[in-house]
Amino acid sequence: MPQTAAIISGIQRMVLYETRARLFLVGSNHAETKHRVLKIDRTEPKDLVIIDDKHVYNQHEVRELLGRLDLGNRTKMGQKGSSGLSRAVLAYGIVGPAGFKCCLTLFYFFFLCATVVYGLRNEPYYKYVWNGKLFERVKDIVHPDWLMYIIHGFCGQSKLLIYGRPVHITLIARRSSKFAGTRFLKRGANCEGDVANEVETEQIVHDASIMSFTAGSYSSYVQVRGSVPLYWSQDISTMMPKPPIRLDQADPYANIAALHFDQMLQRFGSPIIILNLVKKREKRKHEKILSEELYPAVINLNQFLPPDHRIDYIAWDMARYTKSKLCNVLDRLSMIAENVVKRTGFFINRSDFYCHTLRPDDRWRDVGGSVTSTGRLQTGVLRTNCVDCLDRTNTAQFMVGKCALAYQLYALGMIDKPKLQFDTDCVRLFEELYEDHGDTLSLQYGGSQLVHRVKTYRKIAPWTQHSKDIMQTLSRYYSNAFSDADRQDAINLFLQVYQPSDGKPHLWELPTDFYLHQKSTMALQHNRRSYTFWWSEGVLSYLPVPYDEVACEETMKTVKVKRMNQFDESVDIYTEFFKPYELTSFDETFCISKTNSARELMPKTLGVDPSPFTVRKPEETGKSVLGKSSKEETVLQRKTAASAPPPPSEEAISSTSEDDSEEDRDDEGPVSQRSTPIKLLTESGESSRTQEEIQPQQVMKEPYGHNLAECPAEEDLLIYERFAHLGENQHTVEKTERINLANIISLEPVSRFKDDSIYAVSLPQVDRRSHEMFDSHVMTGQGQVRALCREDMMMYREYVKNRYM
């Protein structure tokens, strides 16, 4: 049966060596068994001269090569003490012809059939690649393994434990490199339909109980945010917190919106659902200007589309609902999210479980998308926007993601119905991910963290947090007014929107970068697009499936197929990353340090339901991911709520901020571990207590779950006291002093070792057969499978006969 899995890039780390005339870049895989060498001429001041011999060296060959280069580049023949080849820097990838950075590789897949591997490699989607322009000069010269395409955005991952079953939740945000910039300097869209602050967010749910990529189960859901696709901007020369919105150019036939939604139909298919969160009612027109222009544009475009594939437009004044005491903002968003997820569906790589047929759920029956023999595909996407696409947008995306997460977990067989409730460990963990996601995107585009958070719209945030809104507003205002211009110049230079050359003015001398991003406006259009058939040719014939996935010829031209050995290191993930023959510190690995629902969120008291889908009271929740326990936060809220004035209204906050107020994070460190006082014995036999005066019932009940003082047996208490005495002596006895356990405690060791104590332990004797089994296990992990002997085959046949026949 054919299988699919990810292929690892051939170059994972690089070392740069230099001589007086050349630069030598040596790239290798993690195991350092395969090497490539790139030679760069440094004598040419203007031209970039790169030589790639396309040869794969082994470790011995690359050492000989470096030795010859070192010897041949010394100033005098036979000179000792000075090196002709010096090591300059260690890197993990090439950003461009003159830079290094560790980031995202190409997209690799392979198809495995019998013993032959067919590797399939295609280039990434360049809209979300930030160093694509930098690679244009070297892409056809060097081997593709040297190229490392990078993205800009956010990546976060957490582990959800469902009764011990690990589930990894990953959140990835990809920022568009088209019409990219900072908050007030990039608004609306350019002449090609690319909008400002366009971000594609994908949430991936993986059943980590099966580590194999081919045999594992995983699901994905995608949504998009971006500025309103119109010609509009804000004048920042007046130094106002909320500059007036102005429409820069009339577009009666919605040409710019047509270009933008044509891109979305090609990439995501249908339906395209717009969730517009800008204000509808204002004393002075501000945000309303955008709604009054966007809605007629969508109506104009829809009249030419087939009814089944028309653009859905949902306008909802989220800020106005937030001010109302009678309306629940998140309940309304939950209804919208349910409708959206049912229409678009989601991706999953496995067919429905039979339990869905035995215990059907009404919500599961009408889930949209494309159903295949191997699973489901998402068709269409939700496009959310407010004015900045930051605060309100992030909360709305969280609610849609929460609804999609419920369907993903249900499809993977983790829960019995596609519904998740607030105040559960699962939703708290997911909320932390989305708040980190929102903070990162807000810093990149707006210059500060989020202002309004999920707790703000739930109206459970403590009033003390509102005082930090002023600082965030000032931070965002300062960044927009004083530092965004330099950031915009840096973005334009890195993305090669501006390319310096002789005779051209410097980047900082340009009065505006308008014509750098609007190049099509400087020339007459010879092939004007139709106002009625505004979509690209062939798009409608494949809807609701996206055109880019099934019929795009340009995409298929970039696909390259290579035949490989199934035992090659580039397809063996285990031997590439997991090295059993090397010492590994588990505390430093990412899988140990990332957020864990059982460790960070679940209550540590006995008798609670360990399920992450159980609703918990605030005082029952465990430590917050942000560093402070939820119990401490609740106590702080109760202490301050009685004597505190009511929180400031959202209208007061929005007068100084574009996107409402802020629910900032606590900066305090994690809660210190609670020490457990133990009743110890002094030399005279009298009991001594620790400095903390705590009742014995509390001391003994917290760590053991029951009160030891209630035990009537004196023998049990004597054993406990001797054990405490033994622990006390562990820190007082010097290492040079000979320890005699018989003088301390008269208990026989329960293990089978001759010498077993807290100071020493005898090594177990391992027989030859066990050694052979361990060596065989290590060889199997490295891809070297030994031939089975006759006894193994007979044992396996007997097992199959007893198990399945």
CB 565 within 8 A of CB 117: yes
Greater model confidence, 751 or 507? 507
The whole-number pLDDT of residue 333 equals 95
Distance of alpha carbon 400 from alpha carbon 204, whole angstroms: 14
- Is a pLDDT exceeding 90 seen at residue 123? no
Greater model confidence, 124 or 585? 124
Question: What HEC string does 279-290 produce?
Answer: CCCCCCCCCHHH
Rounded average pLDDT over 125-130: 92
Torsion-angle region of residue 638: left (phi > 0), alpha (psi -120 to 50) or beta? alpha
- Is a pLDDT exceeding 80 seen at residue 119? no
CB 420 within 8 A of CB 402: yes
The whole-number pLDDT of residue 345 equals 95
Greater model confidence, 278 or 118? 278
Q: Lowest-confidence range among 68-77, 404-413, 445-454, 681-690?
A: 681-690
Torsion-angle region of residue 685: left (phi > 0), alpha (psi -120 to 50) or beta? left
CB 570 within 8 A of CB 26: no
**Most confidently modeled of 74-83, 213-222, 727-736?**
213-222
Give Cα separations from 280 to 35, 414, 540 (angstroms): 61, 41, 33
Tokens of 377: 């595909």
Q: Lowest-confidence range among 88-102, 495-509, 786-800?
A: 88-102
CA nearest 516: which of 214, 157, 179? Answer: 179
At 728-745, the pLDDT tens digits run 554 444 444 454 545 544
Give Cα separations from 290 to 287, 315, 621, 755 (angstroms): 6, 11, 43, 79
- Give the side-chain half-sphere CA count within 13 A for 100: 13
Tokens of 366: 């009408």
Q: What is the mean pLDDT of the chain?
A: 77
- Is a pLDDT exceeding 70 seen at residue 60? yes
Residue type, 475: S
Tokens of 53: 């011999």
Q: Please provide the DSSP assignment of 115-126 as one string.
A: TEEEEEEE---G
The whole-number pLDDT of residue 633 equals 45
- Is a pLDDT exceeding 60 seen at residue 199? yes
**Most confidently modeled of 123-127, 550-554, 676-680?**
123-127
CA nearest 285: which of 340, 241, 242, 335? Answer: 242
CB 176 within 8 A of CB 194: yes
Q: What is the pTM of this model?
A: 0.74
First CA to last CA distance, the chain: 23
- Give the side-chain half-sphere CA count within 13 A for 590: 6
Q: Lowest-confidence range among 207-211, 228-232, 541-545?
A: 207-211
Rounded average pLDDT over 406-421: 93
C-beta pairs of 124-130 under 8 Å, 24+ apart in sequence: 124/149, 125/267, 126/177, 127/176, 127/177, 127/178, 127/194, 128/174, 128/175, 128/176, 128/177, 128/200, 129/177, 130/175, 130/177, 130/494, 130/495
The whole-number pLDDT of residue 603 equals 82
Q: Lowest-confidence range among 235-249, 572-586, 683-697, 727-741?
A: 683-697
Bridge pairing between strands 218-225 and 381-385? parallel
- Is a pLDDT exceeding 90 seen at residue 384? yes
Instruction: In the chain, count H helices and then E strands.
Output: 24, 26
Count CB-CB contacts under 10 A for residue 24.
18
Helix axis angle, 391-411 to 329-344, nearest 10°:
50
Rounded average pLDDT over 364-386: 92
> For residue 25, which phi and psi values (nearest 5 degrees)?
-105, 115
- Is a pLDDT exceeding 80 seen at residue 344? yes
Rounded average pLDDT over 645-657: 38
Rounded average pLDDT over 593-599: 81
Greater model confidence, 593 or 267? 267
Distance of alpha carbon 335 from alpha carbon 363, whole angstroms: 12
For 428, residues 6+ apart whose C-beta sits below 8 A from its C-beta are: 601, 621, 624, 625
Q: Please provide the DSSP assignment of 610-670 as one string.
A: --TTS---GGG--B-TTSSBHHHHHHHHHHHHHHSPPPPPHHHHHTT-TT----PPP---P
Distance of alpha carbon 567 from alpha carbon 417, whole angstroms: 42
**Most confidently modeled of 129-138, 399-408, 489-498, 675-684?**
399-408
Q: Lowest-confidence range among 57-61, 706-710, 728-732, 780-784?
A: 728-732
Greater model confidence, 359 or 571? 359
C-beta pairs of 294-297 under 8 Å, 24+ apart in sequence: 294/228, 294/229, 294/230, 294/257, 296/254, 297/229, 297/230, 297/251, 297/254, 297/257
CB 370 within 8 A of CB 377: yes
Greater model confidence, 154 or 239? 154
CB 181 within 8 A of CB 488: yes
- Is a pLDDT exceeding 90 seen at residue 230? yes
CA nearest 291: which of 310, 304, 278, 275? Answer: 278
The whole-number pLDDT of residue 545 equals 92
The whole-number pLDDT of residue 282 equals 85
What whole-number percentage of the chain has pLDDT above 90? Answer: 32
What confidence category does residue 337 fall into, taking pLDDT thresholds of 50, 70 and 90? very high
Distance of alpha carbon 378 from alpha carbon 186, whole angstroms: 30
CA nearest 385: which of 538, 272, 285? Answer: 272
- Is a pLDDT exceeding 60 seen at residue 88? yes
- Is a pLDDT exceeding 90 seen at residue 295? yes
- Is a pLDDT exceeding 90 seen at residue 341? yes
Burial class of 500 by CB neighbour count within 10 A (0 to 12, 13 to 18, 19+): exposed
Tokens of 64: 């000989």
Distance of alpha carbon 329 from alpha carbon 402, whole angstroms: 15
What confidence category does residue 647 fall into, taking pLDDT thresholds of 50, 70 and 90? very low
Angle (CA) 557 559 565, round 5°:
150
Greater model confidence, 727 or 322? 322
At 235-268, the pLDDT tens digits run 877 767 788 899 988 889 999 999 999 999 999 9
Angle (CA) 370 396 254, round 5°:
75
Bridge pairing between strands 22-28 and 35-41? antiparallel
Place of tokens 């040297």: 146
Bridge pairing between strands 312-315 and 347-348? unpaired
Place of tokens 């995501």: 268
CB 397 within 8 A of CB 587: no
What confidence category does residue 711 fall into, taking pLDDT thresholds of 50, 70 and 90? low
- Is a pLDDT exceeding 60 seen at residue 660? no
Distance of alpha carbon 125 from alpha carbon 549, whole angstroms: 11
Give Cα separations from 634 to 83, 262, 485, 619, 627 (angstroms): 64, 49, 42, 7, 14
What whole-number percentage of the chain has pLDDT above 70? Answer: 70
- Give the side-chain half-sphere CA count within 13 A for 660: 29
**Most confidently modeled of 85-94, 344-353, 706-715?**
344-353
Tokens of 134: 């930098």
Q: Lowest-confidence range among 13-27, 206-220, 729-743?
A: 729-743
The whole-number pLDDT of residue 247 equals 92
Place of tokens 């009685």: 642
